[in-house]
Amino acid sequence: MNALLKRVWIGLATALIVSLAAGVLPDHIQMYADGRIHLGAPAPTPSPSTAAPTPESTSPPLTRDAVDEVIRTAVSAAGLDPSQGRPTVAAGANSNRTGWVAVRENTAAQAEMNAIGADLERQGWTLNPNPNGDRSDASRSYKRGGWYLLVSTRGKTQAPSTTSTLTDSQTYLTLTGLQLNLADIPLPEITVRIG
């Protein structure tokens, strides 16, 4: 009975690891009909007659300067002056992070957030699925060229510092950019047989 319970726990742990890895790096998970699961770099194809799947096309990598320009363009498209806000990361301080923040009235912030998102999509950014459902006031994440942009509003209770000067009718409108390349994170090659 103890050996059976151990096999069940190992199977559950393996299933959890595989499902998490499949969500983060789907092109590094291979499941075979005989129950084997391969984690890591794609295994070589068994036969040269079988064509390898075509990798998903991606945008060329973007520089931080290009992402800063995307942010300025999207903010301007929402009817705002980018100079009325402030950068969240100093120029030249970090090449893989950037951002912009401005104090806005609650009544206008949602429409401005929507306009910024619409312009990001016009510029070729892809909207990520929203884990918070389809709420219109939820933060939105966009991706392109190895960068992720989060567009959100943060009220007084979520302000970046305790010395916030926000009134009850104001919020922070923020764009936060982060460069991530998940393909560069090495996964160990593991082959597991279930069953």
Tell whether the model's pLDDT for residue 143 goes beyond 70.
yes
| pLDDT higher at 7 or 32 | 7
Residue 88 backbone phi and psi in degrees, to 5 = -95, -15
- Look-up of token digits 């991530």: 180
Q: Which two tokens stand for residue 36?
A: 């084997």
- With contact defined as beta carbons under 8 Å apart, do 18 and 39 qualify? yes
Q: Select 64-182's CATH number: 1.20.1300, 3.30.310, 1.25.40, 3.40.50.
A: 3.30.310
Mean of the per-residue pLDDT values for the chain?
75
- For position 119, what pLDDT does the model report? 96
Query: Which residues, in sequence order, are bridge partners of residue 31?
Result: 37
CB 112 within 8 A of CB 173: yes
Q: Rounded to whole angstroms, how far apart are CA atoms 29 and 96?
A: 27
Mean pLDDT within 111-125? 94
pLDDT tens for residues 31-80?
566 656 665 655 555 444 444 443 434 557 888 899 999 999 999 999 99
Extents of the domains making up the chain? 64-182
Q: What is the pLDDT of residue 101?
A: 93
The pLDDT value recorded for residue 162 is 47
Higher pLDDT, 188 or 120: 120
97 exposed, middle or buried (CB, 10 Å; 0-12, 13-18, 19+)?
middle
CB 169 within 8 A of CB 108: no
pLDDT recorded at residue 84: 87
